[in-house]
Amino acid sequence: MSSNDVAIQVANVSKCYNVYHSPRDRLKQFILPKFNRLVGKEPENFYEEFWALDNINFSVKKGESAGIIGRNGSGKSTLLQLITGTLTPTSGEIYTQGRIAALLELGSGFNPEFTGIENIYLNGAVLGLTKNEIDNKFDAIAGFADIGSHLKQPVKNYSSGMMVRLAFAVQVQLEPEILIVDEALAVGDALFQKRCFQQIEKLTNDGVTLLFVSHDQESVRTITNKSILLDRGKQLNVGLSSDILLEYRRLLHKEESEYFSKLAQNLSKKTDISKDVPNKNENLSAITTSSKISSLNNEGNNNTPSRTEKLSFGEGNAEIESVKVLNSDGEFSNAFNPGDKIKIRVNCHVKKDISKLNVGIRIRNKEGVKIYSWGTLNQDMAIRYKNSDSIQFWERKFIEGERFFVDLDFTCDLGTNLYEIQAAISLEETPNYLSQRILHWQDEAAFFHVNVVRDEYFFGGVIDLKMIASW
């Protein structure tokens, strides 16, 4: 890749902070090391080093859209500040080519005492625009922000929503070559977020390089081509956004399992679980302990995982054995027309006595957009809401070694596309999705294609709304 093709190059970048336990230690660090050097003694440090980032390496080509994902505290915001130049790296180099517009912390770049109008001109000047250039773009900025007479008020009086409206409007209307967006958009209302994402898509189509940070995995999958996964300051992987997001979900699951394992161990130290703790805690202890043993076994296995293994994760006390797509005759099929009946059969295997299960699926199109997600717990929740006497799957008890299947039936109202089915079996401590632990998740569990017959019944889009025309 030539240097002319690169918009952002991060090479061996690390960032270290000195952490002081008290103001006294900071004062000692300022005085004593200098004094020790004068008298020929080895200087002593009165701080601890915290490496917010450790040896980060990646590049983003011009016109490319890249995401940065990771848990809170992984170093995402620090990395963005290094790229924008508001921080300097402890080691390594960062190369950028093009004018950068950054939407980072809420209100960053604004003078709170200035009015919205004054801050527009201030930000434009920082980006290198003349007053005449900002004048020409002012109406577009004010129209996109859509905060009316508040533009004449000091920014310190703005709500968080008004702040992000103005900040985003300024950054995108001043024609950046590199746009960096952090989590700030999350505070905007749904309509404004929609307008922001439309504007981001327009900019990327025009060749603007995008660096996007969000905890919304569907937004990252849809907007970006590649992603960088960070964890505790270290770079775990770089690759296609769909692959990196799967690895991110696997990482979250692993950390959640470790948390529950520690919780179960702490409970077992305080009391005899087999006698004094209710059944749900017995299941919790058994499952998390089994998960920990399985994790340790996997760490000792140096065999390269198969593609199927890479696409799945979970605690392992129940598993998805297969997912089949059937037609109205109960026969296997992977091609349907709108209006056809589709049955998705999820075959499961229970490896331990267990209850409170949920079997669910997620359907995505080939662009990676989630079309629909649903599971047995959704149906159970509706049953409880209606005070119905119908049997709830969540209450069913399974014994070790038991195999069963769940059929999920629907009428195909989807537009023409290739669809992926993701399947999962989870343990739900509460019957409302508020305490979920994945026992087995499988990406690319099955596929099917929907083809619209143009002569018989034609529509466009991702779903058939069954519109009726009248006059």
Cα(231)–Cα(227) distance, rounded to whole angstroms?
Answer: 13
**Would 130 be classed as within a structural domain?**
yes
pLDDT band at 170 (very low <50, low <70, confident <90, very high): confident
Q: Is 351 part of any domain? A: yes
Residue 275 belongs to a domain: no
Identity of the residue numbered 235: Q
Rounded to whole angstroms, the Cα distance separating 181 from 223 reads: 12
The domain spanning residue 71 has which CATH number?
3.40.50.300
φ, ψ dihedrals at 47, nearest 5°: -140, 165
Tokens 């977020």 belong to residue: 193
Q: Does position 287 have pLDDT exceeding 70, yes or no? A: no
- Contact assessment for residue 99 and residue 178, using Cβ atoms and an 8 Å cutoff: yes
Are 229 and 373 in the same domain?
Answer: no
- Please enumerate in sequence order all residues whose Cβ is within 8 A of that of 362, keeping only pairs 6 or more positions apart, or say none: 370, 372, 373, 421, 422, 423, 424
Instruction: Look at residue 102 and give its three-state secondary structure.
Output: strand
| pLDDT at 209 (0 to 100) | 92
7 and 124 share a domain? yes
Among 450, 405, 451, smallest CA distance to 425 is for 405
Same domain, 64 and 211: yes
- The length of the chain, given as a count of residues: 471
- How far is residue 332 from each of residues 18, 49, 343, 375, 448, measured CA to CA in Å? 62, 59, 9, 21, 10
Q: Work out the angle at residue 84's Cα, subtended by the Cα atoms of residues 80 and 86, and round it to the nearest 5 degrees.
A: 95
Number of Cβ atoms within 10 Å of the Cβ of 288: 23
Q: Which of 240, 267, 293 is the last residue of a domain?
A: 240
Q: Reduce the DSSP state of residue 162 to 3 states and report it.
A: helix
Residue 261 lies in a domain: no
Same domain? For 79 and 211 the reply is yes
Q: What is the mean pLDDT of residues 241-260?
A: 79
CB 19 within 8 A of CB 7: no
Query: Count H helices, E strands: the chain?
Result: 12, 20
The answer to whether position 286 is within a domain reads: no
Structural contact between residues 56 and 16, judged by C-beta atoms closer than 8 angstroms: no
Do residue 192 and residue 315 come from a single domain? Answer: no
First to last CA, the chain: 59
Among candidate residues 193, 214, 240, the one where a domain is terminated:
240
On whether both 217 and 321 belong to a single domain, the answer is: no
Let me know whether 201 and 335 are in one domain: no
Spatial separation of the C-alpha atoms in residues 9 and 316, rounded to whole Å: 40
pTM above 0.75, yes or no: no
pLDDT in tens, 53-76: 999 999 999 989 999 999 888 888
Residues 12-41, mean pLDDT to the nearest whole number: 81
Give the span between the Cα atoms of 253 and 222, in whole angstroms: 22
Give me the half-sphere count of Cα atoms (radius 13 Å) on the Cβ side of residue 143: 6
- With beta carbons less than 8 A apart as the criterion, state whether 13 and 230 touch: no
Are 220 and 126 part of one and the same domain? yes
Dump pLDDT digits (tens) for 150-163. Answer: 888 898 888 878 88
- What CA–CA distance (Å, rounded) separates 42 from 20? 20
Q: Which two tokens stand for residue 164?
A: 């992000």
**Domains of the chain: total:** 2
What's the rounded Cα separation, in Å, for the pair 441 and 282?
23
The reply to whether 272 falls in a domain is: no
CATH number of the domain encompassing residue 357: 2.70.50.60
Which among 240, 256, 281 is the end of a domain? 240
Question: Do residues 66 and 226 lie in contact, with contact meaning Cβ atoms separated by under 8 Å?
Answer: yes
Per-residue pLDDT band for 219 (boundaries 50, 70, 90) equals confident
Angstrom distance (rounded) from CA 348 to CA 440: 10
Q: How confident is the model at residue 299 (pLDDT cuts 50, 70, 90)?
A: very low
Supply 199's token pair.
């504007």
**Residue 83 covered by a domain:** yes
Residue 363's pLDDT is: 94
Q: In the prediction, which pLDDT does 36 show? A: 73
**For residue 280, what pLDDT is reported?**
36
Q: Return d(Cα 280, Cα 397) in angstroms, integer.
A: 12
320 and 231 share a domain? no
List Cβ neighbours of 441 (8 Å cut-off, separation of 6 or more): 249, 253, 312, 313, 314, 422, 423, 424
Examine the domain organization and report whether 203 and 312 are in the same domain: no
Asked if 19 and 36 count as a contact pair (C-beta separation under 8 A), the reply is no
Domain that holds residue 132: 3-240
Residue 273 lies in a domain: no
Pair 29, 141 in one domain: yes
Are residues 181 and 213 in contact, defined by beta-carbon separation less than 8 angstroms? yes
Which range of 48-62, 138-152, 170-184 scores highest in mean pLDDT? It is 48-62
Dist. CA 326–CA 178, nearest whole Å: 47
Q: What is the pLDDT of residues 330-381, one digit of tens each?
A: 999 989 999 999 999 999 999 999 999 999 999 988 877 889 999 999 999 9
Distances (CA, A) of 418 to 367, 407, 452, 460: 9, 21, 12, 15
Examine the domain organization and report whether 320 and 417 are in the same domain: yes
Burial-class residue 392 by CB neighbours within 10 Å (0-12, 13-18, 19+): middle
What is the C-alpha to C-alpha distance for residues 213 and 77, in angstroms, rounded to an integer? Answer: 8
